[in-house]
Amino acid sequence: MSNETIGRARIIPALLLKGQGLVKGVRFKRHTYVGDPINAVKIFNDKEVDELIFLDISASREGRKVPLSLVEKIADECFMPFAVGGGIRNVNDVRELISAGAEKVVINTAAIETPELITEASSIFGSQSIIVSIDVKTTWLGKKRVYSLSGRKKTSLDPVDWARKAEKLGAGELFVNSIDRDGSMSGYDLELLKALSGAVNIPVIACGGAGKIEDLSDVIHKGGVAAAAAGSFFVFHGRRRAVLINFPTKSEIEDICRGKLKPPGKEEEAP
């Protein structure tokens, strides 16, 4: 990653939806309720976050769409651009989410099952609006494989090969989540992310494993990604994982991008 790209690196809260509430789990399992999404949006507004990602973790598995009424409420409250994913099956689903206020959509399972959807959606709405999500897990043989249906269905896809194909099909960004690191707060899978970011020319958003502010810097400088996303790190605090919405200050983000870190700022409790 060039110094110019690092200067534009983004730090993004990735928030998981289940029904009308926010949840968080570990390795895509044991999800617990952590609060109301609109309250979270209000806090992130106050913290002047540049971008948000909302993912409905059960929509594809349950054969339903993200509740459009919730997306509209988020759009009414949100000061920043946001992306929404979950249950997207066709171009009309993309159209509905963008009409409801989402700037971008995140496609995972349908991108794998019907790759032509990536091309069709990007040709209509622009590649900048289409994020392909890649969930990756290490098999017992030590190989990285892509999973669909919120980590429940293993595919034969190699993540680097799939990333290259998604780019060719028209994806504007890739959202790469390590199932093994998800919710662990043990650091990103830098080896995976470095391989992926080096294989494509579109922005890679890293997710899965952030546990301290240094992890955000490491994934940008060592993983070579364009953006660092996190869930647990921005909603939990302390060993007991108390629900506490927090986010780096502007000066801390500048230090993250430069690789020069200061102690994290004071955190704020969710209402």
Is the predicted pLDDT of residue 261 greater than 70, yes or no? Answer: no
Residue range 74-79: mean pLDDT, rounded: 96
Higher pLDDT, 78 or 1: 78
Residue range 41-64: mean pLDDT, rounded: 92
pLDDT for position 242? 67
Place of tokens 């110019």: 4
- Give the confidence band of 93 by pLDDT, cuts at 50, 70, 90: very high
Q: For the chain, what's the residue count?
A: 271
What is the average pLDDT score of the chain? 89
Q: Which of 6-15, 30-39, 136-145, 222-231 has the lowest mean pLDDT?
A: 6-15
pLDDT for position 210? 93
- The DSSP string of 169-204 is HT-SEEEEEETTTTTT-S---HHHHHHHHHH-SS-E
* pLDDT above 90 as % of the chain: 67
Is the predicted pLDDT of residue 5 greater than 60, yes or no? Answer: no
State the Cα–Cα distance between residues 131 and 166, nearest whole angstrom: 9
pLDDT in tens, 119-154: 999 999 999 999 999 999 999 889 999 999 988 899
User: Would you state the structure tokens that stand for residue 180, as one six-digit string?
Assistant: 């093994």
State the Cα–Cα distance between residues 56 and 133, nearest whole angstrom: 12
Residue range 102-122: mean pLDDT, rounded: 97
Is the predicted pLDDT of residue 218 greater than 60, yes or no? Answer: yes
- Give the confidence band of 254 by pLDDT, cuts at 50, 70, 90: confident
pLDDT for position 268? 43
- Give the confidence band of 3 by pLDDT, cuts at 50, 70, 90: very low
- Give the confidence band of 241 by pLDDT, cuts at 50, 70, 90: low
State the Cα–Cα distance between residues 56 and 16, nearest whole angstrom: 6
pTM confidence score = 0.90
Cβ atoms 179, 196 nearer than 8 A: no
Cβ atoms 185, 213 nearer than 8 A: no
Residue range 231-245: mean pLDDT, rounded: 76
Is the predicted pLDDT of residue 263 greater than 70, yes or no? Answer: no
CATH class of 3-258: alpha beta
- Give the confidence band of 9 by pLDDT, cuts at 50, 70, 90: confident
Q: Which residues pair with 130 in a beta bridge?
A: 105
State the Cα–Cα distance between residues 38 and 77, nearest whole angstrom: 7
pLDDT for position 248? 87
Is residue 224 classed as helix, strand or coil in its secondary structure? Answer: coil
Q: Which residue spans within 10-124 are E strands per DSSP?
A: 10-18, 21-26, 29-35, 52-56, 82-85, 104-107
* 62 alpha carbon, distance to own chain's centre: 21
Question: Does the annotation count 215 as an active-site position?
Answer: no
pLDDT for position 224? 94
Which residue among 56, 93, 135, 218 is the active-site one? Answer: 135
pLDDT in tens, 169-182: 999 999 999 999 98
Indicate the domain borders of the chain. Answer: 3-258
Q: Which of these, 115, 26, 102, 116, lies nearest to 65 by C-alpha position?
A: 102
Residue range 13-27: mean pLDDT, rounded: 88
Is the predicted pLDDT of residue 6 greater than 80, yes or no? Answer: no
